[in-house]
Amino acid sequence: MAGRAPDPAPLLRPPDGTGPREPRRTQKPQTPVRRRDRPLPAPVPDPLLPGSRRRARPRGGAARPGRRPDLRPARRPRDRVRLRSRPGADVTAWVSAHLFHAGDLDELITGLVAPLAADLAGDVDGLFFLRYWEGGPHLRLRLRPRDSRQAGRVRRTIEARARDHLDEHPSERRMTTGDYGALAARQARGERLRDHDGRLHPNDGVEFVPYRREHRAYGDAACMDAVEAHFDASSRLALGVLAARPGQGRRAALGLAALTLSLAACSVAPADLPAPTLPPDLDHRFLQRRDDLLSQTYQLWTDAPATPFTSAWSGSVLTLRDALVQNRCAPDDAGSPLSFMARAAPPERRRTAEVLLRCTHLLNNRLGIAATAEHRLALLAVRTLSVLHASGDLP
C-alpha cells in the first residue's frame, strides 16, 4: 500500500480540500447502542462535502439530479522514558508503548511508526496502533516479537527511535490538568469504562505499559488471536493510506467504503436499519450526490472489491468474521459509535456484527477520521442503504 490507490469514490471532501486535522481535535465520547425506535442524534455540523466522479447507476430508483516555538524547559531524554504496569493485566507477548505527543499524530505515525515497522519487519510478526486520549493525547503502539528473546531488542529500538523523533519534533501542550480531568470523565462515561487514568502524563514521552487484551469487547483467547491479526492488517492498511498524506475528504471516502463492506459482511438487512434523520446540510449534500452514493454502495454491496484498499479491507473483515463465527465468540460488550447498525443483523450474528463494526471504528481512528465525521458517514451509509432497499435494488 505504499502507493496511492484510487479512491472508491471521493464522495466526501471539505470545501477547502483540507479539512480539520484530527490529531488536534478532542475525541468525542463514544455513542452507545440505541434501540431502533429511538431517533438517531443529529451530528454536530462538520465541513464534509460530497463530491465524486460519476459511476454506473444501480438498476432502479436512482434520481439524476507554522509550528509554534517550544517554550518548555528542556528535559533530559532519559526522563521521558517510563515503565509502568497495571494490576490484573492480561500480560501478553506484545511490546506496548504509549507515545505521548500533543502535536500531529499523523506525523508521528508516518515519521516514526512506519519506519519502525519496516526496520523491525524481520523481528516482529504483528503490529498495530491506535490514537487515544487517556493520560493525554498519545499513540498506542504494539509490536509482537517473533521470538520472546527479541523483546528486549524491540523495546530498546522503540525507546531510542521514539526519543530521537520526539526530541526532533517537540510539541506544545495546551491542555491543563483541569482540562484533562473534565475530558477524561466525559470520555470514560461515553466508553463505559470501569476506571480510567486520572493523571495527565508528561508530554513528548514514551511509556511502556503492558498490553491488556480486551476480552469483554472481543471474546476469549482464540477470538483475540483473530482480532489481533485483523488489527495488524488494519494498521498496515492505514499506514499505506497515511503515507500519501490524504486530506479529510479522501479519508472520509475510504471510511464510508470500509463501513459499507463491513455492513455487508455482517449480513445486515437494509430494511431493518433505523430510519436516520439527517441534518439539513447533510440531507442536501446527499441529494446532490445521490447517484454517486447509490452507485458506490450498490457496487460495494454486490460486486468484488475493485481497489487495493477495498480488496484488502474486505478480505480482512471476512476472515475475521469467519473466525469469530467458528470460535463462537460472544463478547460481553463490543459497543462502539457504530454499534447501533448491528441491530439490523440476524439475531445469531449480532455480537459478531458488533465486533466487526467496532473494528471499523478503529480503522477510522487509525485513519484520523474525527468522531463527528464518523457519525455523518454512518448516517449517509444508513440513508443510502435504505434508499436502495426502497427502490428494490437491495433486498
For the chain, the distance separating the N- and C-terminal CA atoms, rounded to the nearest angstrom, is 34
Q: What mean pLDDT comes out for the span 206-219?
A: 96
Could you give the strand order of the β-sheet that contains 205-208, starting from the edge strand earlier in sequence? 81-83, 205-208, 95-100, 138-145, 124-132
Q: Answer with the one of 167, 188, 211 that is the final residue of a domain.
A: 211
Residue 167 shares a structural domain with residue 277: no
pTM for this one?
0.79
* DSSP letter assigned to residue 8: S
Task: Report which secondary-structure segment, H or E, holds 13.
Answer: strand 12-13
Grid coordinates given for 222: 482464540
Residue 253 shares a structural domain with residue 368: yes
Strands 124-132 and 138-145: antiparallel
Q: Answer with the one of 186, 211, 236 that is the final residue of a domain.
A: 211
* Residue carrying C-alpha cell 475525541: 27
Residue 248 shares a structural domain with residue 337: yes
**78 is a domain residue:** no
Specify the range with the lowest mean pLDDT, choosing from 45-59, 224-238, 308-322, 331-345.
Answer: 45-59
What pLDDT sits at residue 277?
86
Q: Does pLDDT of 25 surpass 70?
A: no
**75 is a domain residue:** no
Among 375, 33, 32, smallest CA distance to 189 is for: 32
What is the tens place of the pLDDT at every residue in 111-134?
999 999 999 999 999 999 999 999
Strands 81-83 and 205-208: parallel
**395 is a domain residue:** no
Residue 143 shares a structural domain with residue 232: no
Q: What domain range includes position 182?
A: 91-211
Residue 179 shares a structural domain with residue 274: no
Measure Cα distances from 323 to 318, 351, 355, 356 in Å.
9, 13, 12, 11
Residue 204 shares a structural domain with residue 232: no
Residue 175 shares a structural domain with residue 255: no
Task: State how many domains the chain has.
Answer: 2
- Distance (Å, whole) CA 126 – CA 373: 29
- Distance (Å, whole) CA 127 – CA 109: 12
**CATH number of the domain residue 180 falls in:** 3.30.70
**76 is a domain residue:** no
**71 is a domain residue:** no
What pLDDT sits at residue 275?
84
**368 is a domain residue:** yes
Q: Answer with the one of 181, 211, 241 that is the final residue of a domain.
A: 211
Residue 52 shares a structural domain with residue 186: no
Among 257, 229, 292, 303, smallest CA distance to 64 is for: 292
100 within 8 A of 201, measured Cβ to Cβ: yes
